[in-house]
A = this chain, B = another copy of it.
C-alpha cells in the first residue's frame, strides 16, 4: 500500500513545527475522510518563526525526508514559516510528490473573497514581518492592498485552550478593531495566517463586522490538497475504509503534544499514540 515518493498510494504527509498544523490536519481529514495521514510535529525545535530562513529550510528538509521515507504521496507544509521559506527547496527535492504549503491557498482564497481589494492578514510576528502573504496576494492581484498585524497572544490563547469567552473576545477586539475601523478604506477580508488561529475563529467572528469574510488558511489548504488529489490518477477514497488512519510523530514531548494538540485537532489524542523520533 505504501509506495515511496510515488503519486498514487500511500498516506498524505503533514508537518509543522508543533501542534498548530493539527488545524490543517483536521481540515484535511474532514475533506479526505478515508485517507491515511502521517503527521510530524518538530516540537524539539519550535518555534520556527524566530529561526533564520536557512535553519528553517534545513529543518523542513529533515521533516520532509522523514515523511517521504514513510512513503507519502503528497506533502503538506502546515506551517506558515516553513511555507514561506522552504516551499521552493522542497519542490525541487521531491519533483514527483505534490508539495502544498499554507500561504498560497490562503492568499488565493483571500483574493477570491475580497470585493474591495483590501485584505487584512493576521499571523505571528515572524509571518507578518516576512510579508509572505502580502507577496503572494500581490502576485495574484497586483492592485490589492494588504494590512497586517501580528497577534502573538492568539497563539498563547489557543495553546492554553482559552478559545471562547470574554478574554479571547477582548483580545480579538483589541487586535482587530484598528484593522476594521468603519469607513470606505476598511478591509473586507481577514486571513487567519497562522495555523493556531482557526480554533479562535468563533471569537474572532463575533468581534468583526458581519460583512467581513474570514479566510481560514487551514480550510483553504485542505481544499487545495483535495483538488490535487482529484488530479491524481487513483481516486482518493475508492475501496478504502470509511475513516483513514493517522500515524503521529513528534521530536519531543509526547505528553504536551497530546494535551495541547487536542484543542487544535478537535478530538482527544493519547501520548501513547505519538512516536518520538530524531531528525
Contacts and interface: CB of A to CB of B under 8 A. Distances in A.
A45 to B, nearest CB: 9
Interface string A158-172: 011010001100110
Interface string A93-130: 00000000000000000000000000000000100000
Chain A interface SS verdict (over half): helix
Contacts of A253: 50
Contacts of A52: 252
Residue of A50, A155, A162 with most partner-chain B CB within 10 A: A50
Interface in A123-175: 125, 152-153, 155-157, 159-160, 162, 166-167, 170-171, 174
Question: This chain: how many copies in the complex?
Answer: 2
A237 interface: no
A166 B157 contact: no
Contacts of A269: none
Given A46-B50, A50-B46, A160 B152 contact: yes
A164 B46 CA distance: 29
A160 B153 contact: yes
A167 B160 contact: no
Contact of A170 (B46, B50, B152, B167): B167
A166 B159 contact: no
Contacts of A157: 153
Interface string A8-50: 0000000000000000000000000000000000010010001
Given A125-B256, A167-B170, 12 more contacts: A43-B50, A46-B50, A50-B252, A50-B253, A52-B252, A152-B156, A152-B160, A153-B156, A153-B160, A156-B156, A162-B174, A166-B170
12 contacts: A43-B50, A46-B50, A50-B253, A52-B252, A125-B256, A152-B156, A152-B159, A153-B153, A153-B156, A162-B174, A166-B170, A167-B170
Interface of A: 43, 46, 50, 52, 125, 152-153, 155-157, 159-160, 162, 166-167, 170-171, 174, 252-253, 256
Chain A to chain B: the 8 pairs with minimum beta-carbon distance, closest first: A156-B156, A153-B156, A167-B170, A152-B156, A152-B160, A167-B171, A153-B160, A166-B170
